Structure 1
Amino acid sequence: MSSLHPRDHTAYVAPPPPLVPAGPGALDPVVSASVARAGAGGATLDVRTAAGRTGTLRLRPATGTAVRVTLRMDDVPTAPRASLVTAPHDGRCTIEQPPNAVALRLGALSVEVRLSPFSMELTDRHGRSLRQVTDVRDPNGRLTVLPLGVTELTDGSLAHHDSWTAEPDEHFYGLGERFTGPDLRGQRVECWGQDALGSTGTRSYKAVPFLLSSRGYAVLVDTTTAATFDLAHSNTGAWSMTVPDEVLDYCLISGTPAECLAAYRDLTAPALLPPRWAFGPWISGGFRQDSAADVRARARRIREHRFPCDVLHIDTYWQPHGSWSDMSWDTEAFPDPRGLVEALAGEGFHVSLWMNPHIGVNSAHYAEANRNGWFLRTASGSTWVGQVWGGAHPDTALLDLTHPGAVAWFGDRIRQAMAGGACVLKTDFGEAVPADAVAHNGMTGDRLHNLYPLLYNDLVAEVTREATADHGLTWGRSTWTGGQRHGAKWTGDPNADWPDLAATLRAGLSLSLSGHPFWSHDIGGFHGTPDAELFVRWAQFGLLSPLSRFHGMTSRLPWDFGEEAYTAVLHAARLRMSLLPHLHAAAVESVRTGEPLARPMALDHPNRPDAHAADLQYLLGPDLLVAPLYAPGGRRQVWFPPGEWLPYAGGEQPGKPTGEQHAGRGGEPGARKSGEPGNAPVGEPVTGPAWHRVELPLATAPLWLRAGSLLLTTAPADRAGSAPFPEVTAVWVRPQAEPSRTARAVLCDEDGHRTVITARLSSDNRLTLRTEGPGRPRLRVALPGFPHGALTAEVDGVPTEVGLWPGGEW
């Protein structure tokens, strides 16, 4: 049974409020119902609990694949709350009312309600059913699940709950950023954003009450409270949710994982597509003392090394210590901020600045904000003041972003900071609203805590959009339902060690399955200094993530880790830049569909047990398999999905003759180890579904290309920029088992307009490419597997050259 108990309190980490039952008999399930109204818009039921409470249960279509379930008990005091889920259209359904029952029929699902004793069942279009759990007890008669109903708490409020069946082979995903792994079966997860203080525990910066099942359904709870999910933890045959809100409001969604993510998008908001320059590497000076001279020197070295970089990030110390969110430059360290930013722009850099919503008690602005009531208050009415830096900064107060005056004032501070030419803000923190705080709009901290990251990033995004006349991108640490509208997230503050690399990867994939497609992380880890091998492997992972940023407590400049490491990281960075046509098109598709850019194996293969175990790898877009190295030694197991896969280096591999990239190595490159048939030999496709042990030299990125796909690449440049790709190469690797005669890819411009490129190979080896759409890129062709001169090719009727890959910088 989902326990309701107090939590440990950690200094400067705002925990959720404890949920303590009022005593024996506090649990009060719904036992019966009667139909009050029913029609094409849904059904309204009058319900009664075991203790005689009465209430209203509404069932109505939310989308064509989702039913919204809302339970509200009578005589419950209302309180300020935010609804974050909206039905995108006026849903219609068919109602049936057999004896003692009512049923809603939608095209993709149906919900049947038994009125007495009360229970519900969802059936999808394939005939699979999901049944509500109502009365499951252990041999001592103790309930082991929380049925639909309420529990009275010691403070007199109610916590709502509901439970549904869990099959033995069912897997659960979503609920935000989870460092413990994307598959949540057997866990009890609390959706409450907190400073995770690293990357290895159960706390997370980003929580989203969206649960995704491998059985073909999902649940989205509309709340900002600390919703808790018991996922076959207390009872292996059931999962439960507990929601300490005035109303239980959730959507039952039917469909494949991809279809459920599309419904999440429709019910909340589409993701913001970052501008194309944001897909280039970001490089930070790190969380340490910085100055204009340091930034200029960093920019100069980046360009001298010809290392790809679009964004220079200036972290906390652009502001004076003690005033870390006044949004004012430290004019001693940065005497001419506008001149600095303009000079960097002239060198092709976009500038990112750090911020947070806390005002230090020593700030020159503290007295004004406090006098005007712009800070959150305690229950007694005094200003809430706390320590959110662990002693590294004076105490702070937290801006009340429900107060129009505070919003206007802070918006002006942000506007002033961006007036100097900065392009984007890193919105740090946002998870520290204490549960007992009181806001201007009457909302208490237990309701405001999870909502606050949305208010914070909404404000920054609005000012950014105004200041840039372009985008509303923020680089945020905390989020909640719908936060994908702010664009970029990074996974917090990991240690510079191998376990945190793996935990960071798992957290990113968990976020992918929570409706947030654009995430990143601190390449090299944040705390400490990585050794050269760890730095290279983290950089290869980071440069094949949706977004890429080098950041930490110490230097993350690639040339500071030795020549061998630098060569390997430079190759990975140039590889990313060559893949930008593919990456950007996949990003546009993610916004359109709601599916993630980094695709966990379970997304496309929910019925394959191996796919659920392969939680340390992903597809980057539809056709590139990324399997980051998460331990020293250059070896790991990789699960290859169905089809044929080839190692992909994007051209000549640094330090090796062309064509020597390999998936397995024993003694000499490409040799199969004796007695290890699972190793994949060099130059040969790896056929899945299957696990293979791979060994990758330090300079080799962990990347494979799906045979049969048409991969669009470009010559790697020093920055992504925003201009159309000057030249695009269509790389077509045909599968050996079934030589493909057609392939298709999409190219997208900065505005997301799509140009479809189709390749066809005739029986006499004539290759034709056709483009359909607004783009008219200059296309080249790389088609490996044919002798030189055996092919002729044309693009839109014009003859073109054919390259042979591997070999050359395609």
Structure 2
Amino acid sequence: MKFRDGMWLVAEGKRVEYAEEIYSIDQSQDGKKLSLLCPTMQVRSRGDTLNRPTMTIELEAVSDGILSVEVTHWHGAVNKPPYFDLFPDGKPSIDATVKKSDAGTTLTSGSVAATVTAEPHTFDIRFHSADGTHKLTSLLHRSVGLAYSPATSTPMQTADMRDIQHYILTQTTLGVGEQVYGLGERFGAFNKVGQSISLWNADGGTSSEQAYKNVSFWLSNRGYGVFIDAPEKVELEVGSERSCRVQTSVEGQRLKWYIIYGPSPKEVLSKYTTLTGKPNKVPAWSFGLWLSTSFTTEYDEKTVNGFLEGMRERDIPLQVFHYDCFWMRGFHWCDFEFMSSHFPDPKGQITRLKESGLVTKVCVWINSYVGQASPVFKEAAEKGYLLKRKNGDVFQWDLWQAGMGIVDFTNPEACKWFVGCLNKLFDTGVDSIKTDFGERIPSKDVQWHDPNVDPAKMHNYYAFIYNKLVFEALQERYGKDEAVLFARAACAGTQRFPLQWGGDCESTFEAMAESLRGGLSLGLCGFSFWSVDIGGFEGYPDATIYKRWVQFGLLCSHSRLHGSNSYRVPWLIDNDDKSEEGATAVLRKFSQLKCRLMPYLYSEAMEAIKHGWPVSVRAMCLEFPEDRTAWLCDQQFMLGSRILVAPVFSETGEVEFYLPAGKWTSFWDDTVLQGPMWYGPSVHKEKHGFTTLPVYVREGSILVLGKEAEQRTVYDWTKPENHEVRLYEPNESSSVVLYDADGKQVTTLNTAEEHGTWRVDGMEVRFRRGSRIQNY
């Protein structure tokens, strides 16, 4: 939301008052907090303290590298829940200090500090590293304010606030060349500078400014991040109202955010996810290929078996089969009952599927809505399990399901009932849940079971409690580390309940690229695991789109074939082309590659969740923060820390990509390229068929891989007969931490050079300088 008309004028219909000076500073007894009293005019006489608002700014040392900033106008305003669940694993201790000097008062929280100016009649707060070597951002003149809409002309009007909106806003400075990333799974430009962004979950697909996953965290390329502690709608003007500032505003009487100092982006994410929660571990089987029935397609047991048998006949390894919406009757979603006309014996069918070896696990689609055609609706309504309107009616509309209601997860009994429904699914053999929807949660004319919650805050936060409930139900049934979701909606903290997928995309190269931008942005908000609908959700992908998307999708952390009104099995895409570049062969190759990568990929995943980093797709800037170009790359990504992937977004197979400094070896052949360099039409022009794409391994890497044509994602890759070790331009510091399929750290492999021969922990490795592969 914009509050000004250019630099000089206030926007029409708005009244804005800014903190004009820091009148006084109070220090808490424990030395962890400063309270600043800031009037909206400079106080030069006693009379200036009358008939003017003040704003209170509290600076608090939270943990190492984290300071909170809370701005309040009227302290008597009720701060209703829900609140973000912060420090879920316990709050770290912090040594805070307050020092006064001629420059001002400095509050230090480990590695980060804030200095409040000592200049009289001045408003100035600077954030910097504790040692003073890094300037981060500032709150300067006219950077903290309150606003009314419509504009008030006298304070007397605020006696009745029912028709007046009240906002708190802050503006942090943007330095020259500063860039901003994150803010959830956003499909537009990767760098958010210049954008107006509303953090308000919406079901808008992947080709708009809306987002399913709005996360109130952004990352700067200057070594810090900002987490906005506000579940309600947050509006940001990222260099779009004032080009040198990030403006954050909320409707209400208070605004709180945390500044998090790295200085590296990886350190920022580690500290941010200590604050909001680290992702849970997911089982190794979930990394394999998932096949869906697609959305509106017609299917039954025969159709499902035909798909699965077709995949096995073609040597395409498949781990999970997913039943999408129409496993239930139309108009009855979501009543958790298999459609008897198509699935007369669901438990028997799922048992037969698993016993036949056609599939390892089964997933089903659900949402948290109940259509009124189902008898379940009557039960849920009578027992008070559904969200209500203020007049006592059940909240209903005909959007999505006719007359549907919304499960009220603030009601403990509704939660028990919902988990009971899930347990019946688990009893049939269901292993995983796709938690779809959860974005269109009304915030007007609604009454939650918990009368204390703020409906505006519940809109985004609903995604957290919905996914948390289902994830914990899976953990209760299958074990802490065996739970896995396929979730669409999210807010800050939902990374704790993996995994998330990118939502409804079209079957085009453009949608493939925007999906990648969404995954990169979400990864920069602490989400370790992410997937995408391979082939695109909407439309009918041609063979070229399908095969390029297969390459991209199988190199994400998780991989699912899914569509809207057409099947995604490869032989239906290109009339069962049996050539080496047909859809079947391409899917087989990259599915087997995923299985082969498991020793590397799963070990990278264990390290990633420990720190709150993305596995894949990982933005280049996380690995190469000093490389200015790496911050611009939104058409490529890192698969873990060692492998660079550049998907192909063209009909011709031509691709342009960037390699940071060092030597990079093609995963496919002996080619070694030198960075930093852009490679494309003019330099080392690469044109790829459908069996390859640019996949380059970083200098100094040790890769532990499975054997060629591996078809499992769960196997004992720690045994020599099940793996291969590759070295890529090794050096004395080359090492890798290896985990087994249970997520247990097994060993750390290190290299050493003896008389010109490289060894890995005493095992001789054949190595040719510049060669791509070295086996022992």
Report how far residue 22 of structure 1 moved.
Answer: 10
Query: Which residue number in structure 2 is paired with residue 690 of structure 1?
Result: 677
| Structure 2 equivalent of residue 758 of structure 1 | 749
Which position in structure 1 is the counterpart of 2:61? 61
Question: Match for residue 601 of structure 2?
Answer: 583
Aligned to 1:74: 74
Match of 1:240 among 229, 243, 247: 247
Q: Kindly tell me: are residues 3 and 289 of structure 1, through their superposed partners in 2, closer, same or farther at Cα, counting changes over 3 Å?
A: farther
Provide the identity percentage.
Answer: 27
Q: Deviations for 1:461-485, whole angstroms, at most 9, x for unmatched residues?
A: 1211122234332110000011011
- Does the 8 Å contact 1:325/1:359 carry over to 2? yes
What amino acid is aligned across from residue 555 of structure 1 in structure 2? Y
Q: Give the structure 2 partner of residue 594 of structure 1.
A: 612
Note the C-alpha offset of 1:46: 3.5
Change (3 A) 1:25 1:181: closer
Match of 1:626 among 621, 631, 645: 645
Greater shift, 414-423 or 536-545, is seen at: 414-423
Q: What is the CA–CA distance in structure 2 between the aligned matches of 1:453 and 1:30, rounded to whole Å?
A: 39
Instruction: Judge conservation of contact 1:283–1:309 (CA < 8 Å) in 2.
Output: yes
1:718 maps to which residue? Answer: 711
CA positional deviation for 1:429: 0.1
- Trace 1:498-513 onto structure 2 (pairs within 5 A): 498-513=509-524
Residue pair 1:172, 1:185 contacting (<8 A) in 2 also:
yes
1:572 equivalent in structure 2: 590
Q: CA deviation at 1:610?
A: 1.8
Counterpart CA distance in 2 for 1:290 and 1:27 is 61
What do the CA deviations read for 1:423-456 (whole angstroms, capped 9, x no partner)? 1100000001112133121324311000000110
Aligned residue number for residue 403 of structure 1: 411
What secondary structure is seen at the aligned counterpart in 2 of 1:533?
helix
| 1:351 corresponds to 2:362 | yes
| Residue 575 (structure 2) pairs with residue 555 (structure 1) | no
Match in the other structure for 1:92: 95
Match of 1:530 among 525, 541, 545: 541
Q: 1:765 Cα deviation (Å)?
A: 4.2
Match of 1:449 in 2: 459
What amino acid is aligned across from residue 78 of structure 1 in structure 2? V
Following the alignment from structure 2 to structure 1, what is the Cα–Cα distance between the partners of residues 767 and 147? 65
- Does the C-alpha gap of structure 1 residues 133 and 59 become closer, same or farther in structure 2, counting only changes over 3 Å? closer
2:425 to 417, 421, 427: 417
> How far off is 1:210 after superposition?
0.4
Contact 2:137 2:175 in 1 (8 A): no
Structure 2: runs of 5 or more not aligned: 42-50, 151-162, 681-685
Cα deviation, 1:484-540, whole Å, max 9, x if unaligned, reads 111110000101111101100111111111111100000000011111111010000
Provide the rounded CA distance (Å) in 2 between the counterparts of 1:267 and 1:338: 42
CA shift for structure 1 position 64? 0.6
Q: Which deviates more from structure 2 when the two are superposed, residues 437-446 or residues 232-241? A: 437-446
Q: Distance in 2 between matches of 1:374 and 1:729?
A: 52
Q: Give, as a single letter, the amino acid of the residue that structure 2 aligns with 1:718.
A: Q
Which string of whole-angstrom CA distances, capped at 9 and with x for unpartnered residues, describes residues 612-665 of structure 1?
22211011011101000112110111001111112213xxxxxxxxx5xxxxxx
Offset, 1:149:
2.6
Alignment of 1:457-472 (within 5 A): 457-470=467-480, 471-472=482-483
Partner in structure 1 of residue 160 of structure 2: none
Q: Kindly provide the amino acid, as one letter, of the partner of residue 760 in structure 2.
A: L
Cα offset, 1:281, TM superposition: 0.9
Structure 2 letter corresponding to 1:227:
V
TM-score by length of 1: 0.85
Distance in structure 1 (CA, Å) of the matches to 2:629 and 2:417? 53
Are the aligned partners of 1:130 and 1:164 in contact in 2 as well (CA < 8 Å)? no
Equivalent of residue 104 in structure 1, options 104, 107, 130: 107
| Greater than 6 Å deviation, 4+ residue runs | none
2:741 and 2:61 mapped to 1: Cα distance? Answer: 36
Does structure 2 conserve the Cα–Cα contact (< 8 Å) formed by 1:31 and 1:49? yes
Equivalent-residue separation in structure 2 for 1:725 and 1:424 (angstroms): 27
Aligned to 1:795: none
Comparing 116-125 and 322-331, the one that deviates more: 116-125
Structure 2 match to 1:148: 144
Per the alignment, residue 125 of structure 2 pairs with 120
1:293 maps to: 302
Alpha-carbon RMSD: 2.5
Instruction: Quote the residue 2:138 is aligned against.
Output: 132
The secondary structure found in structure 1 opposite 2:375 is coil
> Cα–Cα, structure 1 residues 307 and 113, in superposed 2: closer, same or farther, change >3 Å?
same
Q: For 1:52, give the aligned amino acid.
A: R
Q: What SS class does the counterpart of residue 761 from structure 2 fall into?
A: strand
Structure 1 residue runs without a partner (length 5+): 6-19, 137-146, 650-658, 660-682, 772-779, 788-803
Where do 1:762-773 residues align within 5 Å? 762-770=753-761
Aligned equivalent of 2:385: 374
Deviation per CA, 1:152-176, whole angstroms, max 9, x where unpaired?
3453453211111112311100100
- The offset of 1:243, in angstroms, is 2.0
Q: Is the 8 A contact 2:19 2:38 kept in 1?
A: no
Deviates more, 1:746-755 or 1:725-734: 725-734
1:427 aligns to what?
Answer: 435
Provide closer, same or farther for how the CA distance between residues 131 and 507 of structure 1 changes in structure 2, counting only shifts above 3 A.
closer
Deviation track 1:517-568 (CA, whole Å, cap 9, x = no partner) reads 1000000000111111110100000000111111112111123233322212
8 Å CA contact 2:409–2:415 kept in 1: the answer is yes
User: Aligned partners of 1:46, 1:129: CA distance in 2, in Å?
Assistant: 24
Conserved in 1, the CA contact under 8 Å of 2:17 and 2:40?
no
Counting matched residue pairs gives 722
Letter in 1 for 2:500: K
Which letter does structure 1 place at the counterpart of 2:464?
L
Q: Single out whichever of 174-183 and 36-45 deviates more from structure 2.
A: 36-45
Amino acid in the other structure paired with 1:150: L
Corresponding position of 1:12: none
Taking the aligned partners of 1:394 and 1:241, their CA distance within structure 2 comes to 38
SS in 2 for 1:534: helix
